Structure 1
Amino acid sequence: MNSVKRSLPPGPLVTDEDIREELQRLFDAGPDSGLVIRVYGEPGEGVATADAFREMLASLRMYEGKQDHQPLEILVDTPGKAQIARALSVLGHEQHQKRILDHILTTFGRRLIDPLAEILDTTPTGSVMARLSMLRDIFLAHIADLRMTPESQQILTSDVRRLMTDEYLARVAENEERVQRPRVAKLAQQILRLVGSTFHRALKRWPAHAEQIASSIVRRSPKRVRLSEVPKLLRGQIIDGIEEFLWIETSADIEGALRPMLAEHQDVMPVTQARLDRATYREFADACWAIIAEHC
C-alpha cells in the first residue's frame, strides 16, 4: 500500500510583509520614516471639568430659553466650503494615505486574491491524483467496450496499467502543483501591485479634488441645522464624496487591467472576470472619515 505524504497547508499568496513592501515601494518610506500618531486631549480635572461643562450647558439653556429637563435644539450654520476643504485636506498627508492604502490593499487581498487561493485549495495534489486515477479507470472501461478479442484487450489493458501506475500519476499530480501555484502567486502579486499603484495615483490627485468635493457638499447641505445633527450630516456627505471620488478614479482602470491579466493565466487558473464591488469602496470611505475625524 502506498503511503500518503502529508504536507503543511501552503501559506497565503500575499502576506502582511508583501503589503508593507508595496507601501514602501509606493512611498519610498521604510520603518524609520518617522510616522507618529498622536492623540491630543486635556487630562481629566475631576470636579473642575464637570463644573465647566455644567456652566456651558447652563449658558446654552439660557440662550435657548430651555429648562433643565428639556432637550437643547440649538440651530447652527453648517460648516462652509473652507472648513470642509480644510478637513478633507487631511487625506492629502502622506502618513494618512499610507494608512488608507494599507486598508485598501488588505481589503482587496480578501476580495480579489483570496478567491485565487480558494481555487488552488479545491484542487490540491490529492484531488488531482484522484481525478487521474478516475481517468485511468475510464480508459480501462472503454477498452472493455471495444469488444476486441481477449488477447488484444489484454495487451491494451496491460500497457495502460504499466504506463499509468500510481507512482506515475503521483508525479503528474505533483508537477501540476509545482506549475500552478507559482503562476497563481505571480498573478496575486500582479493584482496587488495593480491595486496599489492605481489607488496611489488617485490619492495623489486628492488635494486637487478636495475643494471641488467641499463645494458639492455645501450645495447639498441645508444652511442651518440642529447642533446635534452636524456630525451625522457631515459624516454622510463626506463619506459619499470620498466614495464617489475613489470609485471614479480607480474602478475602471483596475477592471480594465484585470481582464488581460486574468486572460493570460486562463490556462492554469479558470478565473472568471473579477468585478469590483461598490460596497467595498464604502468601506474605504469609512476608513478615510475615521482619519479625518481623528485629526480634525
Structure 2
Amino acid sequence: MSGTSTVLKLNNSVEMPALGLGVYQSPPEETAAAVETALRDGYRLIDTAAAYRNEEQVGEGLKRSGVDRDEVFVTTKLWLSDYGYDSALRAFDASLDRLGLEYLDLYLLHQPVPLEPEPWVAAYKAAEKLLADGRVRAIGVSNHTPGLLRTLMDRTDVVPAVNQVELHPYFIQRELRELHDRLGIVTQSWSPIGGITQYWPHAPNGGRSVLQEPAVTELAAKYGKTAAQVVLRWHLQHGLCAIPKSVKAHRIAENFAVFDFALTPEEVAAVDALDTGLRSGPDPETIRLDSFGRR
C-alpha cells in the first residue's frame, strides 16, 4: 500500500472502507455474482439502494461469499417515495428484510427535497432514531449541496457521517469537499470514473470520457496501470471514498488493485485540472418528491 489508508474514520468513530463496490444499474440477475466476486477479491464495502431494486441480490451475494457479516460495510438508501418519519422507518425495515440483515452500517437519504422540506427533514429524523436504537451504525445523505446540507442540519441533530455525491475529474466538488472537511463529513464519490457522462441524457460533459484524457492516460502508461485505476487512485489520495460499479469479474478485481502505487502531488493536481465545474447528474436544488417517479 502506498500512503493512502484503506479505511476512513467517520465522525462517530465508525470505520468505513475507502473503496467499495457500487451496484447502481447492476441488473438483479448479475448483482449477486458481482457482490460475491468483489468480497472474495478483498472488497469490504457494498453500496446499494432501495431504488436500485437489487437489495435482495446484494444480500444473496453477501451470503454466498462466506465473508462474516461483521467484516462487511453495507450501505443502502431511502428513496423519496418513502420520505416522512413513519414511512422511512417502514422502508428501513423493508430494506433490511430484502438484504437479509439485522443491521446496516450506513443508511443514507438518497436525495434532498428542498422544494418539499417537511418529509425530507422527517425522514432524516427517522434515521436519527435508527441510529440511536443501534439499528444502523452511521447515517448520512446523498446528493446534498453545501446549502442543502446546512438547511438539513439546521433542523436536525446528528451531523451526517457521509455525503455521497457525483464526483469525478470533470466535477471535483472542491467547495463541497472543503465544507465536509470542516464539518467532519466523509465525501463519498458516485460515478467516480465519470461514467455518468456516458449514460445520463444531456449530461453537460456528455460524450467525453476522463479515461481518454491525456492527463490520465499518460499516468496510466507511467505506472503500468489502467486509466480507471489512475482515477480511483486520485480519489483515494484526496481522502475520498469511491464506489465504482462493475459486474465484470476482471474489472471488479482491477478496480481494487490501486493500493500498490501513488501519484505525486503534481500528478494529482494535473487530474484536478480536468474539472469543468459542471454537474452531469440531476440538480439537487430542483428535486421534488415526484421528480423521478415512483421506484
TM-score normalised over the length of structure 1: 0.18
Structure number with the higher helix fraction is 1
Higher relative contact order (CA 8 A, sep 6+): 1
TM-score, normalised to structure 2's length? 0.18
Q: Bigger radius of gyration, 1 or 2?
A: 1
Which is richer in strand?
A: 2
